[in-house]
Amino acid sequence: MSFVVDCAGSTTRWAIEPQKVSTKIQRVLVTGISGNLGRRVAPLLSAYDLVTVDLFPPLQGAPCGKFVQLDLSEPSGQAQLAQLLKDEKIEAVLHLAFVIDPVRTGIVDVPRMWRANVEATQRLLDAIASANSNGTAVRLFVFPSSVSAYGPDLPGQVTEEAELRAHTLPYAIHKREADEICQKMYRALGGCALYVYRPSIFAGKTMDNFILRAIRGKPSGRGWMARVFERAGWKLPMVMPATASGENLFQYVHVDDVARVLLWTLGHFQPGQLRIINLAGRGEGVTFAECARLAGTSVVRLPSEAWVVALLRFFWAIGLSGMPPQAIPYFLGSYTMDTTRLRKEIGADYESVVRFTSREALLDSL
């Protein structure tokens, strides 16, 4: 039996056979199953006994195995997840739960975001260490970090050895902190393999976040004015300081490619190893100016970065935009990573796993 995953925006439909379990892993826990990535990876995991959790229930009919609704920003939810790990005899964890878009998830309080993003990761790793204290019961932990963990305005294509310097934007800071916690906890995990992927900006037709909405010219807020713009079909311009060239580069990765990487990892991970791997679409990045051009979104230049921040704060305050004003440095800098390690890790399977270039992934979003 094969599942057909629609590579959105393309006339081609890729037939993907569910992964045949070639290792002893059978029971897999996926956090954040109702998120963009969780919804794309779930159909690929039919060969595994699946246990899933999320703050929100999955869409009706969506594959989710045994689903448990819990809030990872609360101590009770973190404790429930730790108990679930033991009760369900979990052997591998895909930890996808992370508050990326505060407005769309309804978690706009930064301390609560931190608890859901960073503290919950720490508690989950503590639970794995406890479960493995008398032998390696949990054999694999996978955490998608982010290119944003490296910080804004990267000096060319950074390798995995580059310092993590995220600042200003809570999401980026939390990715950095959770990434660092994974590395620090590795040797305490009792033989559990730990894979940290650092993906570039997620893209694809099914993706919907404040980054892609800004490029599309669509409001990302939840206020009445955002609804007016949506109903009228009005587009918001992309804004930048007059001094910016617009030639800063972004990399994208198709969410379906990320799902295939996770699937590949379940069947091919190196037992007991720590792997840190940059993850981006094939080919070159796309400039800020080209993103706007491909989307047909106008660009408005303001006198300075302070003006841009002030405008975004105003749009945020009236509910027109869901883009945190702290994200501005990440829009004005370049974000490109070296993916040599990814190619070597996946080897002969690379072309069948990572199928989209950065540009194709972005186009599929538009």
Confidence at residue 23, expressed as pLDDT on a 0 to 100 scale: 54
Task: Write down the CATH number for the domain with range 3-205+251-282+336-360.
Answer: 3.40.50.720
Q: Which amino acid is at 201?
A: I
Contacts of 146 (CB under 8 A, 6+ apart): 171, 172, 175, 198, 199
Give tens-digit pLDDT for 144-192.
Answer: 999 999 999 898 899 999 999 999 999 999 999 999 999 999 999 999 9
Residue of 131, 56, 43 lying closest to 93 (CA atoms): 131
| Class of residue 163 by CB neighbours under 10 A (exposed 0-12, middle 13-18, buried 19+) | exposed
* 257 — pLDDT class (breaks 50, 70, 90): very high
CA–CA separation, 92 and 95 (whole Å): 10
Sign of CA dihedral 105, 110, 113, 115: negative
Positions of CATH 3.40.50.720 in the chain = 3-205+251-282+336-360
In this prediction, residues 212-236 reach a mean pLDDT of 90
Of the pLDDT bands very low, low, confident and very high (cuts 50, 70, 90), residue 101 is confident
Interval 308-330: pLDDT, tens: 999 999 998 999 988 888 888 88
Q: Give per-residue pLDDT as tens, 107-156.
A: 778 999 999 999 999 999 999 999 999 999 999 999 999 999 999 989 88
Q: Give the CA dihedral 23, 4, 43, 196, nearest 10 degrees.
A: 60
CA distance 330 to 211: 10
Prediction pTM value: 0.90
Per-residue CA distances from 12 to 4, 149, 279, 359 (Å): 10, 34, 23, 17
Task: Determine the pLDDT at residue 9.
Answer: 34
DSSP secondary structure string, 303-321? Answer: SSHHHHHHHHHHHHHTTS-
